[in-house]
Amino acid sequence: MNNERIITEALEVLPGGVNSPVRAFKAVGGKPIALVKGRGAKVWDADGREYIDFLASWGPLILGHAHPKVVKAVEEEVWKGLSFGLTNPHEVRLAHLVVEMVPSVEKVRFVNSGTEATMSAVRLARGVTGRKYVVKFDGCYHGHYDSLLVSAGSGVATFGIPGTPGIPEEIAKLTLVVPFNNREAVEETFRRYGDDIACLIVEPVPGNMGVVPPEEGFLQFLREITREYGTLLIFDEVITGFRLAKGGAQELFGVEPDITCLGKVLGGGMPVGAYGGGKEIMSQVAPEGPVYQAGTLSGNPVAMVAGVQTLKELRDREPYEELDRKMERLSEGVAGLLKDKGIAHRINRVGSMMTLFFTDREVRDFASAKTSDTELFAKFFRKLLDNGVLIPPSQFEAWFVSTAHEERDIDEALERISRAVKEL
Ligand SMILES: *Cc1c(COP(=O)(O)O)cnc(C)c1O
């Protein structure tokens, strides 16, 4: 089946032809593609066309596609059985790796997605504190859990889905939304609701309104004000965990949250999420404590071995400087091409994640992110695709590089992007 046939048949049986909205290319127009193969830094579609891949499955593939160690471990495990429903040794190995690598985590519970991780973390925070309000930032995405799908960047921003259809007002009302990088707004919210706020959840480096770095001292400020009010601080490190450093953004910025949410890189391409924290908080999770949370396939052995191999590789190889250099090379290259062409732009980059905004304003929160010319972005995306470069089909997402992107892949990508920019 070629792209056209797959997409046509998909539209008959899947809403929008997809299982996750941003895949439908609605924000960028043109025909969606179906991918059939990935190796290292590249993917191939059903028509046999090759792309240099900066989508990286939306973040998990920090070692590139089909990394030999990951694939081998999965292959061996598959023959031993796909699921047992009781504890298996690989859960324990992966948990030890998480505890070793992530500074604030002493105990961890595995789930099957980032959404489950944030949903469970919020329940735990409410259970532990006996409070009901949740504070989140405008443009931060924490999965599609009811309490967190309010002013949630990414897919929601891309489609302009207004507010929260399907989410009762009574539930949405318990979520307080403030602009990112805005201390006064946070202070004001805590002054008004402080004693009833169970948790503040934040992507320490947001990637879902596009990449927006936290301003100097902002994360420390969040640590202090939550401590002052007895509110739990949740870092949603589903993107940043194991990507910005071995221990994620909390290591990079030296700020430790009470609860950490993980996903994406953690599963090395398999569906894995997790939430973790200090022993005291995690002892409140069932069956040790009263806060219930469960999963038939949680800790699935095949998924766990993919995570184990991925984290071991990251721990032993520490590729973070190398990843940083590669992304710097790419971002500087792209900036140069756009400058030569006289196109106003802004690139936000932290380590191996970046976003290109078509605006002349500094992007420090969701409001400024939205000043980007999304029509120009859509055109840029399509030209890139035509020239064999895949980036996320949405303005409000991050591009990623992996250890599999060699310098020659970056140079080849810049060649292709240069052709695309000429055609703009
Ligand atoms: C992707 C993402 C999620 C949701 O993870 P899923 O596995 O898609 O449910 C949550 N938080 C952040 C920061 C994410 O980027």
CA pair distance 70, 277, nearest whole angstrom? 27
pLDDT of residue 160: 42
Please tell me what DSSP assigns to residue 46: T
- The answer on 349 and 232 residing in a single domain is no
Question: Could you tell me the residue range of the domain that residue 373 belongs to?
Answer: 3-66+319-422
> pLDDT tens digits for the chain (424 residues)?
999 999 999 999 999 999 999 999 999 999 999 999 999 999 999 999 999 999 999 999 999 999 999 999 999 999 999 999 999 999 999 999 999 999 999 999 999 999 999 999 999 999 999 999 999 999 999 999 988 887 766 555 444 444 668 888 888 889 999 999 999 999 999 999 999 999 999 999 999 999 999 999 999 999 999 999 999 999 999 999 999 999 999 999 999 999 999 999 999 999 999 999 999 999 999 999 999 999 999 999 999 999 999 999 999 999 999 999 999 999 999 999 999 999 999 999 999 999 999 999 999 999 999 999 999 999 999 999 999 999 999 999 999 999 999 999 999 999 999 999 999 9
CATH number at 197 reads 3.40.640.10
CA–centroid distance, 130 to ligand 1, in Å, is 26
Cβ-contact 220, 249 below 8 angstroms: no
Nearest to 177 by CA among 214, 206, 140: 140
* Burial (CB count within 10 angstroms: exposed 0-12, middle 13-18, buried 19+), residue 312: middle
Q: How far is CA 148 from CA 13, 158, 176, 204, 319, in A?
A: 28, 17, 10, 16, 32
- CB atoms < 10 A from the CB of 5, how many? 11
- Residue 172: the pLDDT is 86
- 236 and 350 both lie in a single domain: no
**Same domain for 48 and 75?**
no
Burial 148-168 (b: 16+ CB within 10 A, else e): bbbbbbbbbbbeeeeebeebe
Q: What is the atom index within ligand 1 of the atom nearest the CA of 58? A: 1
Residues 6+ apart with CB under 8 A from 333: 410, 414, 417
Which atom of ligand 1 is nearest the CA belonging to 115?
Answer: 9
pLDDT for position 165: 80
Residues near ligand 1 with C-beta < 6 Å?
113-115, 118, 141-143, 203, 207-208, 236, 238-239, 263, 273
Please tell me whether residues 146 and 220 are part of one structural domain. Answer: yes
Instruction: Note whether 17 and 166 are same-domain residues.
Output: no
DSSP percent split of the chain into helix, strand, coil, nearest 5: 45, 15, 40
pLDDT of residue 164: 67
Q: How far apart are CA 66 and CA 288, in angstroms?
A: 37
Helical H runs in 83-200?
A: 89-101, 114-129, 153-159, 169-172, 183-193
Q: Which of 142, 144, 146, 298 to mutate to test the pocket of ligand 1 (most atoms within 8 A of CB)?
A: 142
Residue 236 annotated to the active site: yes
pLDDT of res. 155: 54
Summarised one tens digit per residue, pLDDT across range 134-166 is 999 999 999 999 888 877 665 554 444 446 688
The pLDDT score that the predictor gives to residue 365 is 97
Note whether 62 and 88 are same-domain residues.
no
Look-up of token digits 């035509």: 386
Cα-based angle 57, 58, 59 (whole degrees, multiple of 5): 95
What 3-state DSSP class applies to 317? helix
**Domain limit, last residue, from 317, 336, 351:** 317
Q: Is 312 a catalytic residue?
A: no
Stated pTM of the model: 0.97
Looking at the CA of residue 140, tell me the nearest atom of ligand 1. Answer: 13
Mutate which of 23, 55, 239, 240 for ligand 1 pocket (most atoms within 8 A of beta carbon): 239
Please check whether residues 146 and 162 belong to one and the same domain: yes
What does the pLDDT read at residue 391? 98
| Domain identity same for 118 and 144 | yes
CA of 145 to the centre of ligand 1 (A): 10
Q: What distance in angstroms lies between residue 338's CA and the mean position of ligand 1's atoms?
A: 31
**Residue 92 has which token pair?**
């324990």
Among residues 51, 141, 275, 320, the one annotated as catalytic is 141
How far apart CA 244 and CA 352 sit, in angstroms, is: 7
Query: How much is the pLDDT for 315?
Result: 98
* Residue 118 CA to ligand 1 centre (angstroms): 8
Residues 303 and 369 reside in one and the same domain: no
| Total domains in the fold of the chain | 2
Query: Exactly one of 42, 136, 246, 264 is catalytic; which is it?
Result: 264
| Per-residue model confidence (pLDDT) at position 154 | 52
Q: What is the pLDDT of residue 153?
A: 61
Q: How much distance in Å is there from the Cα of 424 to the middle of ligand 1?
A: 32
Residue 162's pLDDT is 46
**Same domain membership, residue 365 and residue 329:** yes
Q: CATH no. for residue 58?
A: 3.90.1150.10
* Cα 116 to averaged position of ligand 1 atoms, centre (Å): 9
To the query of whether residue 133 is one of the catalytic residues in this protein, the response is: no
Residue 369 and residue 299 share a domain: no
- Among 293, 317, 341, residue at a domain's last position: 317
Domain boundary among 260, 284, 317: 317
**Domain co-membership, 134 together with 54:** no
Q: What is the pLDDT of residue 167?
A: 85
**Which residue, judged by its Cα, is nearest atom 14 of ligand 1?**
238
